[in-house]
Structures are given as C-alpha cells and as structure tokens.
Amino acid sequence: MSGFPRQQADLIVTTDGPLLTCAAPDGGLGLLEGGAVAARDGVIVWVGGKAQAEVEVSLSEDARRVDCGSRVLMPGVVECHSHPVFGGDRAGEFQMRVTGSDYEEIARAGGGIMSTVRETRAASPELLLERGRRHLDWMLDYGITTVEAKSGYGLDTDSELRLLEVIAELGRTHPATVVATFLGAHTVPLEYRGRADDYVDLVVEEMLPRVAEAELARFCDVFCEDVAFNLDQSRRVLQAAKEYGLLPKIHADQLSAGGGAQLAAEVQAVSAEHLDYIDGAGIAALAEAGVTAVLLPGAVFFLGRTHYAPARALLEAGVPVAISTDFNPGTCYSENPFLMGTIASCYMGLSAAQVIVGLTRRAAGALGMEEEVGSLAPGRRADILVLESEDYLDLPYHFGVNPVAAVFKNGRLVRDRSGGGRGGLVSAGKPQAAEAKAGRAE
C-alpha cells in the first residue's frame, strides 16, 4: 500500500500498448508503453503506467473499467478551424473545378463562398441546426471532441447572428465542446461589390457590437486575401474585434502571399491559419509573437494544388504548428483529421508525432484551450480516443480510413465503433451498474 492518498476515480481506461499523453514538456508525444487514464466526473485525475494505477487510483464501486488490450490511447482531436454550418453544397462546383475552372475565377463570378451564402440565407434555422449537428456527428465519429465553428456564410447582420445562434445551440446540445468564431469578414457579399470598405463598416459598426453584446463568439476571424479583404481592412476588423473583447484569428496567406502572417503578429492573434504562401518574414513574425500556425493541408489538396505551407520551416523557427480539417463546402469537404495528417506527412514532411501533437495539443493552443483539452493530464477534460490500431505510426500510414474504435467525451462513452471490427472491446466486461449509469447519462 502506498503512503499517499489514492486518486478517487469513476472511470479508468487502460492499455498494454501505447498511451500518447501529448502532454510532454518537450512538446512531443509523451509516450507511455502500457498506460492508464483515470477520471472523475468527466475530468482526468490521474495518468500513468498501468501497473502503477493499481496502487495510486481508487475506483468507486460502479466505476467503468475499460481494458483496451494493446490499442493506442490518445487525447480527443481538437478541430480548431472549421466552417460546419451552411446551406446547400458545392458538389457541382467541385466538378467545374476538376474540369478546369479555378477557385478564384468561380468566386469572382459570384460563385464559391457567395453561392453558399445564398443557400445559407435561404435556409431555416432548423435546417441549419440539423446540418450542423450532422457535421459535428461525422466529426465525432473521427474522434473530434472539440470543434471551432465559424460563421461567415451569412454576410448580413441577421444571417450572421442566426448562424452564431445555431452554433451556440450546437454547443448546448452536442456532445462535442463547441467554440464559436465570428467570420463576418469572410468575403465581400455581391451587394457590396466594389464597396468593400462600406461592408467593413457594416462588420465593425453593426455586426461586431451585436455579436459581442449577445456573447455569441469567442474569436473573430477575417479572410485576408486578394479575393476578400486587404491588409488595412483586415486590420480594422481585428482591432475593432479586440475592443469588443473578441480574440483575433486570421485566414492568412492562403492563396497568395499578402503579409497576413505579419498582421497576425501585429494584432497578437491567437492563431494564423492556412499560411500556404507564408514567406520567411512571416515565419519570423509568427515566431517572435508566439502565434500558433494552423495548417490546413486538406484545402490545398482539395483545390488540386501543390503549394503547401512550409510546416518544417515553421517548426524549426519555433512556431507551434496545429493541423485541422478546415471542413467546409468549398475547399475541404472532409471531416477526417487523420486524412489531413497523411497529407501533412506526404506533402509537408511532418512525422507521425508532429501530426498527432498538431491535431491535439497544438490545436488546443490555437483556441487558447491548452489547459482544458488536447492532452491527457490531470485537470483536462476526459476526452479520450481508443484507436483500433496497436501502433500510432498507423495513423498517417493507413490513410483515408477511420482508425477510431471508441470515443470518450468528458468521461462518457459517446462512440463505440469497436464491435464491428474485432469485437466490443469497450462495451464488454463493463459492470452492470456502470452500464445502467452510462445508459441514463447518454
């Protein structure tokens, strides 16, 4: 018996294989061979070696014990850049793109983001909620337990507020933790073509105060790009956002180099996102200002392009690098974060460890939530993934598939996909009382 008080827990998840805490001080995987995670009331209270758990953790009578064999355990994925609430789709536009039309050309002709804006404005809140819920469900299937959701397909005050209200309702009702970002400056809507500054006035003088007053968003984002807003306009939006207490984020250097990364540093953005065309000065600016780079290789891939963000140069400069899907109807219609990991490996030269930390801890950093999600450590939410594989190197290697066997969110089992494969590893062997309790909770 040990001489110190044991941690009380109502959930323990164990493996004889790799446990990736993603909490190592060096920013690495924090790999434990044969590990356990214990939680109480949805919060992690203990992480360590499986044998040590016998000594240091005390389980309540109806605790859920989950023996995962030798399967990999890792933190829930944090999706830190997505556009999951919109009307319609762009499947037809995708066909135009793959047969020769260009993304910017379609946008200039009034398609692209504007075509989704038209369908979103015409959709009822109920439909938008149903669609948003479906997308978050798809994400949860892939182990995404925290989702940043942007507005940006309304582009008038009422439609933007409606989108943010739908996102708030998703946060109240979906198992995932949902973080809202106001993206009123996503593009200049058709009715303001040629009058971008007037539209920026609307964003700054009308939308932002309403969003802030209703406390509908934590972050404010802007698409800083030739086809959207220039540096001065982007700066105006982000500075105003800060005055209203929203934290700045920025879509920067996605389709061309435009100084967006430097602007991110100047306004002390929490993150700069895309960065496919960032240059040396931009990298230095992010490193100096401590801004997280959110890389979205799925968007480059799905646009049929080859100019990926310089991930290794960013890492070498000391910039924290997060990876996310950018799930949206135009540039990345995929909710599979592990596919993004494979693309990041193949085209950006990231290792499996860099990908996994990028999808979890670094993505949490891009939301200012490193103390809450993205790693397995005491005090974090008990958001735990059980993978079907016994080797984490399979994550980028076995590509385009869903490697997730089970998902715990706040200590609750919210997905168990294991039965279809090798046979009910998570649900089996659960004490009767825990089964009944989980059933009620879910």
Name the site residues for ligand NIG (rule: CB under 6 A).
83, 112-113, 116, 223, 251, 254, 299, 326, 328-331
Is residue 296 a contact partner of residue 332, using CB atoms and an 8 Å limit? yes
Q: For residues 47 and 296, which CB has a smaller minimum distance to Fe ion in the complex?
A: 296
Q: Contacts with Fe ion: how many residues (CB under 5 A)?
A: 1
Q: For residues 6 and 108, which CB has a smaller minimum distance to ligand NIG in the complex?
A: 108
- Write down the least CB distance from residue 218 to ligand NIG, Å: 18
- Write down the least CB distance from residue 122 to Fe ion, Å: 22
Q: For residues 150 and 235, which CB has a smaller minimum distance to ligand NIG in the complex?
A: 150
Is residue 69 a contact partner of residue 19, using CB atoms and an 8 Å limit? no
84 binds, among ligand NIG, Fe ion, none (CB under 5 to 8 A by kind): none
Helix axes 125-141, 157-173, angle to 10 degrees: 50
Is residue 342 a contact partner of residue 400, using CB atoms and an 8 Å limit? yes
112 binds, among Fe ion, ligand NIG, none (CB under 5 to 8 A by kind): ligand NIG
- Write down the least CB distance from residue 112 to ligand NIG, Å: 5
- Write down the least CB distance from residue 182 to ligand NIG, Å: 14
Place of tokens 């971008």: 196
Q: Where are the alpha helices (DSSP H) in 318-431?
A: 337-348, 352-359, 361-365, 394-397
Q: Which of 36, 46, 27, 26 is nearest to 380 (CA)?
A: 46
* Binding to Fe ion, residues 162-191 (CB under 5 A): none
Q: For residues 225 and 326, which CB has a smaller minimum distance to Fe ion in the complex?
A: 326
223 binds, among Fe ion, ligand NIG, none (CB under 5 to 8 A by kind): ligand NIG
Q: How far apart are CA 136 and CA 176, in angstroms?
A: 8
Q: For residues 300 and 321, which CB has a smaller minimum distance to ligand NIG in the complex?
A: 300
Which residue's Cβ lies closest to ligand NIG?
Answer: 330
Q: For residues 254 and 410, which CB has a smaller minimum distance to ligand NIG in the complex?
A: 254
330 binds, among Fe ion, ligand NIG, none (CB under 5 to 8 A by kind): ligand NIG
Q: For residues 21 and 324, which CB has a smaller minimum distance to ligand NIG in the complex?
A: 324
203 CB-near residues (< 8 Å, 6+ apart): 184, 185, 237, 240
What DSSP designation does 187 have? S
311 CB-near residues (< 8 Å, 6+ apart): 293, 295, 321, 344, 348, 349, 350, 354
Which residue's Cβ lies closest to Fe ion?
Answer: 326
Place of tokens 């355990």: 73
355 binds, among ligand NIG, Fe ion, none (CB under 5 to 8 A by kind): none
Is residue 199 a contact partner of residue 189, using CB atoms and an 8 Å limit? yes
Q: For residues 146 and 328, which CB has a smaller minimum distance to ligand NIG in the complex?
A: 328
Burial letters 61-98, b for 16+ CB under 10 A, else e = eebbebbbeebbbbbbbbbbbbbbbbbbebeebeeebe
- Write down the least CB distance from residue 262 to ligand NIG, Å: 18
Is residue 120 a contact partner of residue 86, using CB atoms and an 8 Å limit? yes
User: x/- string (CB under 5 A) for Fe ion, residues 297-336?
Assistant: -----------------------------x----------
Q: How far apart are CA 364 and CA 346, in angstroms?
A: 24
130 CB-near residues (< 8 Å, 6+ apart): none
410 binds, among Fe ion, ligand NIG, none (CB under 5 to 8 A by kind): none
Q: For residues 64 and 131, which CB has a smaller minimum distance to ligand NIG in the complex?
A: 131
14 binds, among Fe ion, ligand NIG, none (CB under 5 to 8 A by kind): none
Q: Which of 147, 144, 149 is nearest to 338 (CA)?
A: 144
- Write down the least CB distance from residue 35 to ligand NIG, Å: 36
Beta bridge partners of 75: 384
- Write down the least CB distance from residue 81 to Fe ion, Å: 6
Please give the residue ranges that form the binding site for Fe ion (CB under 5 A): 326
